[in-house]
Chain A
Amino acid sequence: MVYIGSRVKRKEDVRLLRGIGKYVGDIHRAGMVHAAILRSTHAHARIVKIDAAAALKLPGVVGVLTVADMPGLKTIPMRTGVIPGLERSQQTPIATTKVRYVGDPVAVVVAENRYIAEDALELIDVEYAALGAVVDARASMDPGAPQLHDAVPNNIAANFQVNVGDVDAAFANSDLVLEEEFTTQRHSAVPLENRGLVAEWDEGRGLLTMWGPTKMTHTNWRILSELIGLPQSSIHFIEPEVGGGFGARGEFYPEDFLIPFAARHFRKPICWIEDRSENLKAMNQSRQQKHRVKIGVKKDGTIMAMDAEILFDMGSYTRTHGGVPAIAASAMLRGPFRVKNYRCNVFCVLTNKTPVGTYRSPGRYEANFVRERLLDIVAHRLKLDPADARRRNLIRHEEMPYDLGKHPFHYMVYDTGDLPGQFERALERFGYESLKATCAAAKLEGRAVGVGIGCFVETSGIGPWEYARVEVDNAGQVVLYSGCNSVGQGIATALSQIVADELQVAIDNVRVVHGDTAKVPYGNGSNASRSTVMAGSAAVGASRKVKDKLLRLASASLEIDSADLILRDGRVVARGAPERSLGFAELARLALPGPALKSGMTPGISEEDFFATDKRPFPYGVHVAAVEVDKETGKIKILDYLVTEDVGRKINPMIIEGQMAGGLAQGIGGAILEEFVYSEDGQPLSTNFMDYLLPTAMEVPNAQLISTEDFPSPHNPLGVKGAGEGGITAAGAALANAVSNALGVEVKRLPLKPDYILQLIKDCEAAG
């Protein structure tokens, strides 16, 4: 059977369905104690004094750590998204002299159990001297605003520009120039499993073992080594089951240093599992951007130029993914459209709020909302159908590969695709034309029904390299050691399919090992929809080397030329003489050191490969939404939704559709429900699940999810493009356009809360 392209059931599932998968919170080590983090209750304050005396007296408390116990503390570096300047606002794992957001770690308590640890937290007396807090990015840039970091004047952690073509000349040449301002709200990944770590220090052997690290295990391994002063060979990371990542899990958080530090300090295994109220204050937030965009168009809708200013609200510290949301937004603001003249001025601004990182389709969810809204506004002004306004500007197949022009921090050449073709497919499958008539008829009845489009190009498969080792064990089982990570997305199944096809074995005879630094020496992890592309390609490379070795071993033993041997059903078989064959287990025996060395071969069947690339594949597609809005309550009902996405090549269509469906649910949440709200003085107001609203089964409709493989990418041997983010990326755009269309208003911000909707209606009626 051919596994690639088929809807193979996931190998991960049975243990998860039985409830026997071990997440980090399920791990028990003998003598394990529990940590809790004391977090700042001030958004901006000097730490005057920390008195833990009462906490230390509480029975069951093992100890309390503060900055005084951690001499020589370094800041947590960036792993990616490096923009010069951002290094000045990196975070020390624990607050030193100041706290800069509510949630900033101030002390670590270790106790017999989490109950007592939380009792002890209440007994630690911290004296703060409050400083003024600033929560708005624009206000934060004002000279009078409180300064968060001494080295960063005006709280502008970084500022960069993109400049393509001649924007000013293009504006002069435009028939219509519009300027609009848009805002996307703070929201984020909020996975169902809170963050956690178990750290155990073996004093006797000088070995630190940690369960819990994920997403970019090897990078974190190196970072911890540098921060904690232990060589990597003394540190062992093990990845358990992970309850969702979405871009925010697996960063190098302060706790990734504090917990192993505490384990070494107290010489006891330490378990730290955050609770939800911490998670909503301390896990990376994202998406908060203000865009001011000027667009110049011809009467027929042709876009001449775009000029944007982006304020990226990054919270109070630079995190491991640096300025990725700002970089990506500025790189992908033009999306699938031909805009030869483009200028963008990006400010990464510090505010006294939770630090910001990546969240599924970082920067692009925001940028797509902005651009697609802007296009609808342009269409409206020019009295064009929004679909026609897009048709005029979609990059055509003949123009691929399409170079968007230089960006200082982002790869900018779209590889393959037929964007107009995908666009027509989406509209046709959705019934766009007849739906327009339905909307018009409904409006005559006084109902607000509307349709909205959101086009996108996603980025995926980032390099620069990935590692794989494939080996055949004594029983003929194939094992893939991969540098990727699992956050629940099914990568082990997809990789198994790839290896099984390469080596012609049954998928049940393939095991995938990932996230364990003692077994996998190198890796770049799983972020930015890279795993199938990068880990898959490295797995192909290693598998092909293993195939070579198998053929050579069989050739020597059977005395048949390699060219006359093929792989079939876990055996090497002579072409035309199937009775002459050797099974993988037999070949493994032939490869044992004794026999192998005798015959002059390198022992074992084990081959490594690195797949390296500096290019990226770009999946692309369209979201279309139909909504009805209750004009009296502002409630939005999604009547119908469609997503199409070309992913180059589908390894497992079921998994791809699952990614699209899951991404869409998050996209709907971001468009209508989710928001991290802060008070003026920096107090977070969305710190429980009644205030931060995740979509339930009643808010997410059945959607049409169409994945296609029309245009494989030339940048990797599989031809795949990463499918992790297409489902979320244009949901804000499509829904905002649909609501605007339904009500005859112009949505300029997310989320589409009921009171915002009513305000838009009211303003529209007032304006006549």
Chain B
Amino acid sequence: MSTRQVRLTINGREYSAAVEPRKLLTDFLRDDLGLTGTHVGCEHGVCGACTILWNGEPVRSCLLFAVQMNGADLKTVEGIAPNATELHPLQEKFWELHGLQCGFCTPGILLTAEALLKEIPNPSEWQIREWLSGNLCRCTGYQNIVTAIQEAAKTLAEIPR
């Protein structure tokens, strides 16, 4: 099986690897690169657990092949926190307001929320729910996630850009 060399940037760091064409981006991230924060929930693009940011936009990594990612600029959950000791305001608010239980959907939701707040810094509740509608959560009932995003939006608005 012929492999292709792929060079891409993830969370600001360069990676290079040989991949076979059919390897899904999710498996490449998790198995080849050890970035296991991106989770696999369905492999048909519905649950959103595999959501990552490509050029800042949320996409399903289970519907991308690693070979497509040459030159791509990606962000995964491991890249959300500013460093190993601090958390991003979204993470802080999710923690404070009980925005997660089992944590399986959380990486995808955090990234989606981050993209949302960049595009709409002061979203309405409807906008938050609409953006989240592509991320399934089976544990929380979404209520605390919505509140956490609203609160994080306020925090982020106070941070000079």
Contact = CB atoms under 8 A, between A and B. Distances in A.
Contact of B139 (A25, A275, A662): A662
A273 B91 CA distance: 28
B132 A696 contact: yes
B78 to A, nearest CB: 5
B141 A244 contact: no
Interface stretch (A251-259, A438-446, A466-474, A686-694): A686-694
A253 to B, nearest CB: 19
Contacts of A665: 137-138, 140-142
A666 interface: yes
A192 B133 contact: no
Interface string B70-89: 00000011101100000100
Interface stretch (B2-10, B104-112, B151-159): B104-112
A697 B104 contact: no
Contact of B104 (A20, A192, A694): A192
Contacts, number: 181
Interface residues of B, number: 57
B136 A10 contact: no
Interface stretch (A66-74, A319-327, A484-492): A484-492
A399 interface: no
Find the residue from A19, A664, A703 having the highest chain B CB count within 10 A. Answer: A19
B117 interface: no
Contacts of B130: 697-698
Contacts of A13: 94-95, 100, 103
Interface in B88-138: 91, 94-96, 98, 100-107, 110, 128-130, 132-138
A564 B35 CA distance: 54
B17 interface: no
Given A25-B30, A662-B140, A697-B146, A19 B95 contact: no
A58 to B, nearest CB: 12
Given A16-B100, A17-B106, A700 B42 contact: no
A711 interface: no
B23 A241 contact: no
Nearest to B92: A17
B21 to A, nearest CB: 11
Interface residues of A, number: 58
Contact of B103 (A9, A113, A243, A655): A243
Given A13-B94, A488-B139, A689-B42, A243 B87 contact: no
A661 B101 CA distance: 11
Contact of A14 (B31, B87, B98): B87
Contacts of B128: 697
A193 interface: yes
A689 B80 CA distance: 28
A114 B102 CA distance: 25
A28 B96 CA distance: 32
Contacts of B46: 688-690
A703 B147 CA distance: 13
Interface string B37-75: 111111110110100000000000000000000000000
13 contacts: A12-B103, A19-B107, A115-B23, A192-B105, A192-B138, A192-B139, A193-B41, A242-B102, A276-B43, A489-B102, A697-B129, A698-B133, A700-B143
Q: Which 3 A-B pairs have the closest CB atoms?
A: A19-B37, A488-B102, A16-B103
Given A276-B42, A697-B146, 5 more contacts: A243-B104, A276-B44, A664-B141, A697-B129, A697-B133
Interface of B: 22-23, 27, 30-31, 34-44, 46-47, 49, 76-78, 80-81, 87, 91, 94-96, 98, 100-107, 110, 128-130, 132-146
